[in-house]
Structure 1
Amino acid sequence: MSELNLSPELCQRLASHTPSDMALDLPEAAVLVAVTNSPDEPEVILTRRAKHMNSHAGQVAFPGGKKDETDIDLYSTALREAEEEIALPRNTVKPIGRLSQVVSRQGILVTPFIASVSSNVELIPNKEELDAIFNVPLSFFLENLPDRYDRIRHPKGSLYIPCFFYDDYEIWGLSSLILVELLNVGFDADYDVWSKPEAVEIRYL
């Protein structure tokens, strides 16, 4: 397993990863998988959507959203949305690489971008969209078993996506699927979302 820090070796490992893309004619969106550059305990930055939102209310998510006509590319979308949602200055973000595209249950093609940010950057939630910003040490996901798996139907079969409870936050669904790939690529985690897990609670969606 790679050392649990944002070493040049780990960044190169993530940067050299070849993500899977989908040739689908769907509306597009992008999310920013921002990891703090703390050398001893890197953390991933997550948000919780406000309960009054029309979609994904109360759900944990990465900063991101739909591509706008003014965005020159999807990475620009991720940066703009992160700036709007959590006040993350785009000039403080260092791109690392990309993860595989995923499709949301609403039929949105989502492209995740990995980036490093300062561990002491001040973040402010946009109260119109979020009710919280929180960080989770990557070690938490590597040292703790999932609390549950969710089975989601897929054209190629069934996906079994791990769910984690961290403090008062439930990390599941698309965010967890993206996170699993980050853990597998960067830290040799052994999550196989195509195989049914044994001896653990499974929720059928």
Structure 2
Amino acid sequence: MLEELLRRIGNHVPLTLETDKRFPEAAVLIPLTRGDNPEMILTLRASGLSTHGGEVAFPGGRRDPEDPDLVFTALREAEEEIGLPPGMVEIVGPLSPLVSRHGLQVTPFVGLIPDYVEYRPNDAEIAAVFSVPLAFFREDPREHTHRIDYQGRSCYVPSYRYEDYKIWGLTAIMIVELVNVLYDAGIDMSRPSGPFSVP
């Protein structure tokens, strides 16, 4: 599984943003554990934050002027937010950049980490760190579908429920791309699908 994951992400060609605008850059890390049944590490952001408070997200944030590249940004933010040492992460490759509703161009990077890491969440930013088996997303177990109008077109994005966590929005879009690359899942966000679709 691990070799296939590395091969597929390594061969994946991310989409490019079709826009004339320049957006401030940000990066997130999609940490996957190295085991036979990989798990994805996610965070619940602290409810008092001014942006994305109380939402599930990957560790990450805005690129600082001194960051040499976006991989550095993703690793720096993951260490600041959840105490994940950069030396424990093997970057496999990027997924397609997206523009957040706050006007940031966000590039996700998939990274492999050990099966067990003792996370140290930054209480000011992170309410919880949790893991979800990657296979959970394979069958598209959406709770319902959100319609997001994105770059002049409608995008029908799954909203997942895992235990007490709601996984939706930009995070869900990144997960769909990853699951489609790894499993040929064929999840199509260009048309409504699943229960309780929002027209």
What TM-score comes out, normalization by structure 1 length? Answer: 0.92
SS of residue in 1 equivalent to 2:27: strand
Q: Which moved more, 1:142-151 or 1:72-81?
A: 142-151
Residues 16 and 97 in structure 1, CA contact (< 8 A), matched pair in contact too: no
| TM-superposition CA deviations, 1:122-181 (whole Å, max 9, x none) | 111110001000000011112452001000112342100001100110000000000000
Structure 1 partner of 2:23: 26
SS of residue in 1 equivalent to 2:138: helix
Unmatched tracts of structure 2, length 5 or more: none
Structure 2 partner of 1:69: 65
Q: Matches of 2:45 and 2:182 in 1, distance apart?
A: 27
Q: Matches of 1:105 and 1:122 in 2, distance apart?
A: 32
Residues 32 and 39 in structure 2, CA contact (< 8 A), matched pair in contact too: yes
**Structure 1 letter corresponding to 2:27:** A
**Structure 2 letter corresponding to 1:15:** G
Structure 1 partner of 2:187: 191
Structure 2 partner of 1:182: 178
| TM-superposition CA deviations, 1:76-112 (whole Å, max 9, x none) | 0000000000000001100111100001011110000
Structural RMSD (CA): 1.3
Question: Aligned to 1:13, which of 5, 8, 11?
Answer: 8
Question: Aligned to 2:134, which of 135, 138, 159?
Answer: 138
Residues 140 and 187 in structure 2, CA contact (< 8 A), matched pair in contact too: no
Unmatched tracts of structure 1, length 5 or more: none
What TM-score comes out, normalization by structure 2 length? Answer: 0.95
SS of residue in 2 equivalent to 1:128: coil
Question: Aligned to 1:120, which of 110, 116, 123?
Answer: 116
SS of residue in 2 equivalent to 1:202: coil
Q: Matches of 1:192 and 1:181 in 2, distance apart?
A: 10
Percent identity reads 45
**Structure 2 letter corresponding to 1:177:** I
Runs (4 or more) in structure 1 with deviation over 4 Å come to none
Structure 2 partner of 1:101: 97
Q: Matches of 2:74 and 2:94 in 1, distance apart?
A: 12
